Amino acid sequence: MSRKMAFTGIFTSIAVVFLYLSTIMPTGKLTLYFLASLPVAITIVELGAGAGIAVYFAVSLLNILITGNIMGVAPFIFFFGHYPVFKYFIEKRRKAAVELLFKLTVFNISIFLWYLLFKSLIITVLPVPLTDNGILPGVAFAVIQVVFLIYDYVFSRLLFYYESKLSIFRR
């Protein structure tokens, strides 16, 4: 039991460091959010969904308390942190078409919530002609779906590699 608690604490601290770096680094933020989500997924692989959810909440809360930068932590809270948990439950189904549909649904709900919370900030940053045109949002929506599918594929491959070669507890 103490070994599992230590594992959870170590992976929480690793994720906290990556997420903290994402708030202070001028570039490479998406990569750091991605890296911060890997310890959540690895904890789920090793100890189950409950431990992964605990790591997600601990990392989110600790980074808000440490940095005070909610905008810098928001991408982790609204997508990168909770996605490994949803991915775990979605992939239990073992039907590719259903998995893909649920993954895209989770992603699009996350993006929609992100948009609702921060739309005034996003719209004031973009030039007015770009926001009035109906083509740009449609193209952006299609591109972001493809980028998400690439992200999910890379994430899955890394988790598969971890499970097959590096797993500590070998459940």
The predicted-structure confidence for 93-151, as pLDDT tens digits, reads as follows 778 888 999 999 999 999 888 878 776 655 555 555 555 556 767 787 889 999 999 99
Whether 171 is in a domain gets the answer no
Whether 140 is in a domain gets the answer yes
For 102, the token pair is: 């649920």
For 8, the domain range is 2-166
Whether 24 is in a domain gets the answer yes
Whether 119 is in a domain gets the answer yes
pLDDT, tens digit, 9 for 90 and up, residues 30-87: 899 999 999 999 999 999 999 999 999 999 999 999 988 888 888 899 899 999 999 9
Q: CA–CA separation, 144 vs 24, rounded Å?
A: 25
Q: CA–CA separation, 8 vs 103, rounded Å?
A: 26
> Which CATH number is 103's domain given?
1.10.1760
